[in-house]
Structure 1
Amino acid sequence: MLRKLILFLIDIGLTLFSGIVSLFMRFGFDFEEMGKYDESVIIYTLISSIVYILNGNYRIVWEYASPRDMLFLVRGSIISYLVNVTFFYFYRGSILPRSVGFSTFLGSLILLLLSRITWQWISNLRKGKAGEKRILIIGAGDAGIMLLEEFEKRPHLGKVVAFMDDSKRKIGRRIRGVPVFGPITETMKIVEKERIDEVIIAIPSATKEEMERILKAIDLRKIRVRTLPGIYELTDGRVRIGHLRDISIEDLLGREQVKVNLEEIGSYLKGRRVLVTGAGGSIGSELCRQIARMEPDLLILLGHGENSIYLIDEELSERFEGLKKVRVIADIGDWEIVEFAFKKYRPEIVFHAAAHKHVPLMEENPFEAIRVNTLGTRNLVKLSMKYNVKRFVLVSTDKAVNPTSIMGVSKRLAEIYVTTRKSNTIFSVVRFGNVLGSRGSVIPKFKKQIEKGGPVTVTHPDMKRFFMTIPEAVSLILQAGAYAKGGDLFVLDMGEQISIDKLARDMITLAGFVPDQDIKVVYTGIRPGEKLFEELYYPDEERVSTSHPKVFRIVSENDLDPDEVEEYMKSLEEHLRKAEVSGILEIIRRLVPQARINFTKGEEKV
């Protein structure tokens, strides 16, 4: 309240001062003539003060005012001038010369604007001096300028003292008073010269190759580096300080924005009842986020873990206010419970992402892998046909190709069952490799090991894996769903396989340490069920292009009889119920002859 009163008194004083100066400008030092209009200037000031209050001048926190807020002052001054002109036109008891009135308006407007700018400058100066953090922004584009504006509003968080850019047009010039240096390869020279405390990479559109080039120019042991997320993560196009995060391995492995045909995807999702299994998992939760943008009639979140379903439900409630959704806690291996959900909510589209995915863990629990990944999928497929689901999409894995693990075999059996169904329901499978940052994957594990000071454990120096970001994978799953015609198997383009050893060493470097000096890398040996490298295709599978460059349709000569596959699945269910390992292995040998697994070892631990 005191601050508002001070500002109000300052405004009255400046307006009165403008009126006095205007009289001097009109009459010089003829004080006798000036005295005739003293009353008019006071009236002008009183009318203006009332207008300032009604205009809302004192509801703005001027410390953080933007140019748009300054327009309130302009509006208030114009209104006060027009009200004064009207008042003196009708009130003949006092006269205000037109030149004096206009000069008072113009002078008071300029002084009011200058007062706010000065107020803002003094406030920022007062907050910014003590322990000020000096910041260098790499990227003098729109994102970098937005960040500069954010820091100018919050000087206690740091001061931007320099930009780095490769553009010759920008190097050597200034942006809002901040110099632009370059090229980016000279970053460490500027860091030392300008005594920089933190570097921020503000290029959301940067590819992984560009990020790698930028990071090579920075000594991560000497300076902290933060970055903005990829452009596909900035949903509203605005850049904020809250978006900043520490540099991570994800920035080197995948930042490209995946472009999909939203019209095609929306055509089969908008206004539909959509069921997502495994809705609380890494893939399932991202499916829910992206499907929610397509405005479904109802989103059904089905999962076995209540906490994960609760968390994604809360997130969706915050981000998508009008979204209609329901939560179903169920095990897909439980026919009765899952059928109850189908019967009650009548889904039209099903995305099946629920699965046991940890390879070594499933080696110890092979019956559970078969029960959930294979027979649980069969339950969902049969219920989809029974309740007239329009489309069904199974999320699969590269571990289903020439499997050496029971997890891979269980997913391959699911692929075979889904692709051999003949029904009015359009069934399809989408197969791809690892996704970055999924729960229980190698990247979060390495992060924890680095935080503890090491060692970082790698199974084998030659181990390689495919990687893709979760948003990218899910976008392509939705796109593939639009291409499905029935019995389709799609494979996503995963790029080149990445060395896990190099991945671990890059993560150590990004954390500001030297591999094998500050943090050791230890090789522990290949775990049961693991392969040195993954594959996306069987030898008899032919890739056929679709209209999306990263989605391929698979054509195979392996033409299995649907009824025969169904009989095998019935037998598998019976063998599983009796825990008959030999019977399960016989079915695996017939349906997945390429499998090389050790089920007996798992049996001893079941």
Structure 2
Amino acid sequence: MTTQWPRFDRPYVAAIHDITMAAAAFVLSLYLRLGDDFWSQTKDFLLEGTLLFTAICATVFASFRLYRGVWRYASLDDLLAIAKAVSLAILIFAVALFALTRLELMPRSALAINWLLLMGMLGGPRLLYRIAKDRGFFGILEQGSDGRIPVLLVGAGDIADAFLRQQRKPGEQYRVVGLIDNDLRKVGRYIHGVPVIGVPNKVENVLNKLRKSAIRPQRILIADALVTGTEIGDFLELADRYGMTLARL
């Protein structure tokens, strides 16, 4: 029987998860720091502090696009983004708390504990979800590297995932500037830091927008086994008009 995993790839589910974890990490960090004195020392500010920290995290996480990462393809890039977002959120919270209370109510060491907890509570589920889907760990361990030839990749599934990971290795020749996929739910999402920027029947619009941003893909690469011969013909015609080449992985 095939295991059905929850769809954590939807942005609103990821947002709910991350915001909930932020609130939980704040409370838990204080409990771990204060122990039996937790309630007596936090009852005057626990609710306000939790709401403030959670609001800051929600804003910072959105600015780092944490909610738009696809958990199915979580990688070291996602962990790095989480580390940056968590660090910035805690820094902003510390500054805000200092301005309001001179940090008199919040043990400073609890901030460090909070950082560790939140890193684990945000990154851990993403990596476990990826490992469970892949039935392995090594797909996560990839290194960043720029390719040389800008390309547009058609497909945002397993073939595209493998290709993107391969291109991050030193010496590879391609730089994927965007992904095209039939699944509208993926548009606006990111896989290994590369955005899904359109659907197949809107590729010409995508190319025009890229060119306005001084991004000129030289090739269209098909990374979807379900692309039909008719669709390939359409891509070939489009590639000819834009002076690009077409290839299938």
TM-score normalised according to structure 1 size: 0.21
TM-score normalised according to structure 2 size: 0.49
Structure 1 or 2: more helix by fraction: 2
**Higher RCO (C-alpha 8 Å, min separation 6):** 2
In our comparison, the structure showing a higher alpha carbon Rg is: 1
